[in-house]
Chains A and B, each alone.
Chain A
Amino acid sequence: MLDQVKDGDLENAKSMSIIVTKGTLDWAYPPFILGTTAAAMDMKVTMFFTFYGLPLLLKKLDMKLTALGNPAMKMPMMGMHMGMPNLMSMVPGVDRAATTMMKNLMNKKGVASIEDLREASIDSDVRMIACQMTLDLFEYSPDDMIDGIELGGAATYMEVAAKSDINLFI
């Protein structure tokens, strides 16, 4: 009984909102890591998916990585850290190879997959809102998205943000 009260008592719990605006493999991590961890620390979490962050709610995830515009991206290779010249991204197959390489590296280092973190978000009752405008703009249907999400707009987010202790834009 006491346990139920403790677990269910979110009245005084801290809260966090995150605006998720980017959908590449690397940018997908910070919001899901912080969202799941905050929920594990008994915070109420809301994630608002907009623009390129919206596809992170698609049933089938297909995130890619690119070295383009990311000169800081260096991968451990053959005992060194190798960067990739921006021009390389133009070569067909290079971004795909970089994506595979990153996924293998993450797997090797015990880093969770985005699929797993998204599942953990759902399990820990993170509220996920898909931006209605972005759905219209990029011609997605709510049916393309995973179950358990809500649709909303800027006002829906602002209402949450006004009451949250922490608001992040990623």
Chain B
Amino acid sequence: MTEHVLNAEGLNCPLPILKAKKMLKSVPSGEVLKVISTDPGSVADFAAFCRQTGNELLSSSSEGDKYLFEIKRS
């Protein structure tokens, strides 16, 4: 299984979501996209994005000033 990683560091709303959506299109169903962001707003936004689109937010965590998300493609 290839690892799918999106580095969205330094990007502000709505770019992390837009880039994640674009990348998810190439992620096969059931596989996981990891997103790294530095935008504090992306915590609430990725949760909402996943609820709306039906993709599963496996984890949402922070490490220093970085936010990490794992999204399972529906």
Contact = CB atoms under 8 A, between A and B. Distances in A.
A92 interface: no
Given A40-B21, A40-B49, A3 B29 contact: yes
A111 B53 CA distance: 24
Contacts of B53: 41-42
B17 A37 contact: yes
B29 A40 contact: no
A120 B18 CA distance: 8
Contacts of A40: 14, 17-18, 20-21, 49
A36 interface: yes
Interface SS of chain A? helix
Measured as residues with beta carbon below 8 angstroms from the partner, the interface class of chain B is 10 to 19
B32 to A, nearest CB: 16
A155 to B, nearest CB: 30
B15 A112 contact: yes
Contacts of A123: 22
B18 to A, nearest CB: 5
Contact of B14 (A6, A7, A37, A109): A37
Contact of B13 (A6, A7, A33, A42): A33
B52 A110 contact: no
Interface of B: 10-15, 17-18, 20-22, 25, 28-29, 39, 49, 52-53, 74
Interface of A: 2-3, 6-7, 33, 36-37, 40-42, 109-112, 120, 123-124
Given A6-B74, A37-B17, 17 more contacts: A2-B29, A7-B25, A36-B18, A37-B14, A40-B17, A41-B21, A41-B53, A42-B53, A109-B12, A110-B10, A110-B15, A110-B39, A112-B12, A112-B15, A112-B18, A123-B22, A124-B21
27 contacts: A2-B29, A3-B29, A7-B25, A33-B13, A36-B14, A37-B17, A37-B18, A40-B14, A40-B17, A40-B18, A40-B20, A40-B21, A41-B21, A41-B53, A42-B52, A42-B53, A110-B11, A110-B15, A111-B12, A111-B13, A112-B12, A112-B14, A112-B15, A112-B18, A120-B18, A123-B22, A124-B21
